[in-house]
Homo-oligomer: A and B are copies of this chain.
Amino acid sequence: MENDLILVEKKMHSHSSDYHTNLQQALDHLIASGGKRLRPVLALLVGKMLGAETERVITLAAAIELLHTATLVHDDLIDGSLLRRGIPTLNSEWSPAATVLAGDFIFARAAELAAETESIDVMKIFARTLSTIVTGEINQLFSRKRVANRQEYYKRINAKTASMFVLATKATALLSEANGEVIHNMEVYGYHVGMAFQIVDDILDFTGEQVTVGKPVASDLRQGIITLPAIYYNELHPDDENMQAVLDGNFYNDLLMTNLINSIRNSDVIEKSMNEARNFIEKGVDTISEFPFSAERDALIDFAEYVVDRDI
């Protein structure tokens, strides 16, 4: 597994010879600074469990992680984010023009690797996932941001996060000889683990410490993005004037914002949100538990449980 992950990294770095040096350095930096590789880990575990050819799974895992990286490059540019995981973003150092093109280039590389799997079904879900992610972002951009609505929220985190987890689990299953039911179950597992992952991420945005998370506490709320803890808080405290001010978009008092964040942190909406994440995980674990025993199946159960137990 460790070894396969190293091969995924290597595949992500692979390239033709005629890139501009600046681009190569930026890519190497972006890839090297990239998170926990959860999507490749998922793909590798599913691939091993279902007996898919390792080399193709490694290629797919690299393609998925590059797709993820490309969307982050454009996201950070759009949001004007200067740090990700505590490391300077590409747009903090490059011009907007170069950042747009670097993202496009990584999309292209991701598509090239996806095509290397030789599976047209993989290409279809790959393209569909990119479309889902981007549509979600466009909807968010054009919609009134400050909506405290659980259904909207679930739609948003599905597009933003769960769709890519589904890509990792389902597309990998498509590389195996698995039948339709198994493929469907891998989709169900990926969806629920992905949803839980994003909910926990949104909880950690409130409960984490700046130094651990690498960005200010409640950075979403500060930008007017309403995630599950804030939605629950708004449902339970419809009269909280600070919350209403955030939703109305006229909240610029730092002290009151800190008070509101503390109210949310110290209320039971954090636990309620965690329960919601646990519900998703439970469904994911139930689905995967039906598979015959294997070390990978158990690792996928552990993976799901890690998603709700982590503190970073």
Query: B-contacting residues of A (Cβ < 8 Å)?
Result: 16, 18-20, 22-23, 74, 77-78, 96-98, 100-105, 107-109, 111-112, 114-116, 118-120, 123-124, 126-128, 130-131, 134-135, 137-139, 141-143
Contact = CB atoms under 8 A, between A and B. Distances in A.
Contact of A105 (B115, B116, B138): B138
Nearest to A102: B138
Which 3 A-B pairs have CB atoms at the shortest separation, nearest pair first? Answer: A111-B127, A108-B131, A108-B130
Nearest to A96: B96
A97 to B, nearest CB: 4
Contacts of A20: 135, 138-139, 142-143
Contacts of A137: 101
Contact of A126 (B19, B111, B124, B143): B111
Give how many copies assemble into the complex: 2
Contacts of A109: 131
A134 B78 contact: no
B100 A112 contact: no
The residue among A16, A109, A124, A127 with the most chain B CB atoms within 10 A of its own CB is A127
A111 B135 contact: no
Given A109-B131, A111-B123, A112-B124, 16 more contacts: A16-B131, A18-B135, A19-B135, A20-B135, A20-B139, A23-B138, A77-B100, A96-B96, A101-B141, A102-B138, A104-B107, A105-B131, A105-B138, A112-B127, A114-B127, A115-B124
Contacts of A18: 135, 139
